[in-house]
Amino acid sequence: MTTQVLGVSERSLRLAKQYIDAGDVVAFHTETVYGLGADARSDAAVKHIFELKGRPQNNPLIVHVHREFDITSLVDFIPPYAELLAKAYLPGPLTMVYPSSNKVSGLVSCGLNTLAVRVPSSETAQAFLRAVDIPIAAPSANLSKHISPVTAQHVFEDFSGRIPLILDGGKCEGGIESTVLDCTGETPLILRAGLVTQEMIASVAGSCGVYVPKEGEQPRSPGMAYKHYAPKCRTAFFSPEELERAKALYLEEEERGGVPCFFCEDALIRSLDGFRALDLGSSGEEMANRLYELLHRGEEEATLLIGICPKERGGVYEGVLNRLTRAFGG
């Protein structure tokens, strides 16, 4: 199979609809990362997504719909706070988990009685979702455990020859996956941190918790259980206080003939004169935007990536730190 990479046009949307109607998988741009989409109502199509990614069978998928789609047809109950949040932040990088009305394949939620629903703001995603006009199940378009894709080229590298079409919308500006928010309780609960932050949710919903799995408990967002976003090269991770140890490791790697490279925030770059370094930038938003792109570049260019943890906490940093620690193995 040849994999076509096409921008949005009448022709590419017609092709996308043909592939989706035939039960095939189409990759598409969103404002967070690229998605690997298929008909959420079809067992066979959803199964195909899991097979393509090599994804564990107990890690549920998010259903994507366009902005005019009637979400009440997919879920049993939408609490008032969720309606307020939807008004404030959708379309956008916020996925909301509701009690499911079982209108899509049971494989989407892996047997859970809830359904995660997302309305992406990307114009490419909206055009695709309008063209097919059905709920599209879509995980990030990377092989399971590999770095999430923020360009069509990243998707191509993981799936060329295995999917018919990538809808290219350019680089994903958000850069990290959507916030996953449990909306089945009295108050909202963040299952996966992202660009819509705890502070932003609390300011609309009145309050917002962050789910922390207890020791030995099955996590509520099963995807968070896995080592994830891992580059193919070796990695090491240090706090800013451990910079001297990190430099020693860098020099050791160089002596062995390897290619070490730092991976850190802009404020540290000045103290790394003469060392190779990838610059994550200075704000949480900038770091989210650059994170996966730089991880992709790092795994191409380095044999050892040495991450240094950013100093700030709160806001978008929480999502960035979550991805960073999981990419670098904690």
Task: Report CA dihedral (3, 48, 293, 259) to the nearest 10 degrees.
Answer: -90
Residue 322 in contact with ligand TXA, rule: CB under 6 A: no
Choices 14-22, 173-181, 269-277, 303-311; region in contact with ligand TXA by CB under 6 A: 173-181
Among the residue ranges 28-36, 153-161, 248-256, 306-314, the one whose residues contact ligand TXA (CB under 6 A): 28-36
* Binding residues for ligand TXA restricted to 82-141, rule: CB under 6 A: 95, 97, 109, 112, 114-116, 118, 120, 138-140
Kindly state whether residue 224 participates in binding ligand TXA, applying the rule CB under 6 A.
Answer: yes
Instruction: Pick the closer one to Mg ion by CB: 121 or 140.
Output: 140
3 closest CA partner among 154, 161, 155, 158: 161
Nearer to ligand TXA, 29 or 264 (CB): 29
Cβ 102 to ligand TXA, closest distance in Å?
12
Asked whether the CA dihedral 93, 99, 103, 105 is positive or negative, the reply is positive
Token pair belonging to 235? 């990695």
Does the footprint of Mg ion cover residue 32 (CB under 5 A)? no
Q: Does residue 30 belong to the site contacting Mg ion (CB under 5 A)?
A: no
Residue with smaller CB distance to ligand TXA, 223 or 260: 223
Contact between 231 and ligand TXA per CB under 6 A: no
Q: How far is the CB of 286 from ligand TXA (least distance, A)?
A: 18
Which residue in the set 20, 35, 50, 94 belongs to the binding site for ligand TXA (CB under 6 A)? 35
Q: Which stretch binds Mg ion (CB under 5 A): 68-76, 139-147, 201-209, 321-329?
A: 139-147
Token representation of residue 44: 């066979």
Please state, in angstroms and as integers, the Cα–Cα distance from residue 197 to each residue in 64, 100, 189, 200, 318, following that order: 20, 24, 11, 5, 8
Alpha helices in the chain (DSSP H): 10-21, 43-53, 80-89, 123-132, 152-159, 198-205, 243-255, 266-269, 284-301, 317-327
Place of tokens 């939408």: 78
Could you tell me the smallest distance in angstroms from the CB atom of residue 168 to ligand TXA? 15
- Strand, helix or coil for residue 296: helix
Q: Is 179 helix (H, G, I), strand (E, B) or coil?
A: strand
Q: C-beta of 174: minimal distance to ligand TXA in Å?
A: 8
234 contacts 215 by C-beta, under 8 angstroms: no
Dihedral over Cα of 159, 109, 329, 176: its sign: positive
> Is residue 239 exposed (0-12), middle (13-18) or buried (19+ Cβ within 10 Å)?
exposed
Q: Does 29 bind ligand TXA (CB under 6 A)?
A: no
**Contact with Mg ion (CB under 5 A): which of 12, 30, 124, 140?**
140
Nearer to ligand TXA, 115 or 288 (CB): 115
Residue 226: is it exposed, middle or buried by C-beta count within 10 angstroms (0-12/13-18/19+)?
middle
**47 forms part of the interface with ligand TXA (CB under 6 A):** no
Nearer to ligand TXA, 103 or 245 (CB): 103
12 is an interface residue for Mg ion by CB under 5 A: no
The residues binding Mg ion (CB under 5 A) are 140
